[in-house]
Amino acid sequence: MYSAAMSTPERLISATRELLWERGYVGTSPRAIQRLAGAGQGSMYHHFSGKPELALAAIRSTADELRSSAAGVLDGPGTAYERIAAYLLRERDVLRGCPVGRLTMDPDVTADRALRAPVDETLDWLRGRLAEIVAEGTAGGGLRPGLDPQATAAAVAATVQGGYVLARASGSPEAFDTAVRGLLALLAPDDEPAPEA
């Protein structure tokens, strides 16, 4: 249950975000949202037309936050390699998975253009931003030369998303870390060992 400092709509959105992350769209019931938000049924249906509208607000909110957070790391200081490494190695709640990527497994989300849009846009933005950095890095930024920016960026984003899958399967974050380590080694040029990161 959330702090009384938040407005009821805010609490409903936060609760929905949590539940969508953990249980997905199908697994998230209005009842559970109301319970977690500390709001009554009438209250929920007063502020939102129903589950889809509430889910849309929650997904947008989660997507915006993820994007800001990733941008913070990717826009930071350092060489291209260092910024990609910082992104790959940043603190994550690995076993919870990606709150945005997770939604792609939900048929009710992918089937609904409006619900899928924030998910698509976020991952698309991430790939684009990574591609820019790879493009910078192939000109002396600590990355292996000759890499295709788009393809390399997709591999980076995929490794993160897939790392979550491997980690959740085994019940341990280790597989995620191992995959990231493998990718970082592949990204570094031959002549120099992958920098400590």
Residue 22 CB, nearest approach to DNA (Å):
13
Helix ranges (DSSP H) in 49-173: 51-74, 80-89, 107-110, 113-137, 149-170
Angle at 181 (CA atoms; ends 136, 100), nearest 5 degrees:
75
107 touches DNA by CB under 7 A: no
Give one word for 50, left, alpha or beta, with left for phi > 0 and alpha for psi -120 to 50: left
Look at residue 65 and give the partner it binds from DNA, its own copies, none, a contact being a CB closer than 5 to 8 Å depending on partner kind: none
**Residue 183 near which of DNA, its own copies, none (CB within 5-8 Å, type-dependent):** its own copies
Residues making contact with its own copies (CB under 8 A): 22-24, 26-27, 97-98, 101-102, 104-108, 110, 116, 119-120, 123-124, 127, 144, 146-148, 150-166, 168-171, 175-176, 178-183, 185-187, 189-190
Given a contact cutoff of 8 angstroms between Cβ atoms, the answer to whether 175 and 166 are in contact is yes
- Token digits of residue 190: 């031959």
Nearer to DNA, 23 or 181 (CB): 23
By beta-carbon proximity to its own copies, the closer residue of 77 and 146 is 146
The beta-carbon contacts of 65-74 under 8 Å, at least 24 apart in sequence, are 66/98, 66/99, 66/100, 66/122, 67/122, 67/125, 67/126, 70/126, 70/129, 71/129, 74/129, 74/130, 74/133
Residue 147 interacts with which of DNA, its own copies, none, CB < 5 to 8 Å by class = its own copies
- Per-residue binding string, DNA, 25-54, x by CB under 7 A, is -x-xxxxx------xxxxx-xxx-xxxx--
Tell me whether residue 82 or residue 108 sits nearer to its own copies (CB atom). Answer: 108
Q: Which residues here bind DNA, judged by CB under 7 A?
A: 8, 26, 28-32, 39-43, 45-47, 49-52
